[in-house]
Amino acid sequence: MIPKGVPLKNEAVFRLAMRHRSATDRPVQESYERLEFFGDSVLGVVIAQFLYEHHPEWDQGMLSKAKSSVVQEGPLASAALKLGLDQHLELSSSEESTGGRQRPSILADVLEAVIGGVYLESGLEAARWFVLEQLHDDLMQVSGGDVNPHDFKSKLQEMAQALWRRTPQYRIAKEMGAAHERRFVVQVLFDDEVMGEGSGRSKKEAEQSAAADALDLIERHRQVRKPMPEPFEDPYI
């Protein structure tokens, strides 16, 4: 059954949008990947048009930063969870056992697949309303001037400079997946000590995830032990 809030009419289209490539022997024809590819383009157009029309004072750089903040894994995965799409995913047993149902990259993909399905069924206007409704809070945040709410790298650098006068370094720890669904695992380091790790569909996305992990570690440490050690003495132990 198509969940409330998803404006699809055809059950078969919805099922296709929920089917991971691991759940079928014919991933090109019977998984969400082609729909996700199409929905990603629709999503980009809708968000770009919204920002262009609502912020005539923003230059290209500002528009680009704001768009990137909304059209990324975190906000899309959160929207998918709010719609309950995780409960409808079709995954292989191995993908299920490794946490695929809650994996942000998969959740972001299925939301984009749904967007693509809505466009194909009902046209751009229906897809526009769906996108703007699901990402309303994120759009309001960037419209309020915080065009980088998920720029954890900048926040980590500022905090590290303030605490230790040092700059974090990033390294790729792992690359995995086929070319069309590449995943990167990145670590953030201080003096060769790993302080955070994250993954993403691109190197930039993985770096942001790693920075967020490091910020969370710092915050947890500061709640337990104050002040932070100077200059850097294993704050995560």
Instruction: Give catalytic residues, as residue numbers.
Output: 40, 112
Q: For residues 29 and 26, what is the distance between their CA atoms, to the nearest angstrom?
A: 6
> Residue 191 corresponds to which tokens in the numbers above?
């003096």
Give the three-class secondary structure for 229.
coil
Q: For residues 201 and 218, what is the distance between their CA atoms, to the nearest angstrom?
A: 25
> Residue 36 corresponds to which tokens in the numbers above?
């996700």
DSSP at 90: B
- Measure Cα distances from 173 to 44, 103, 185 in Å: 29, 19, 5
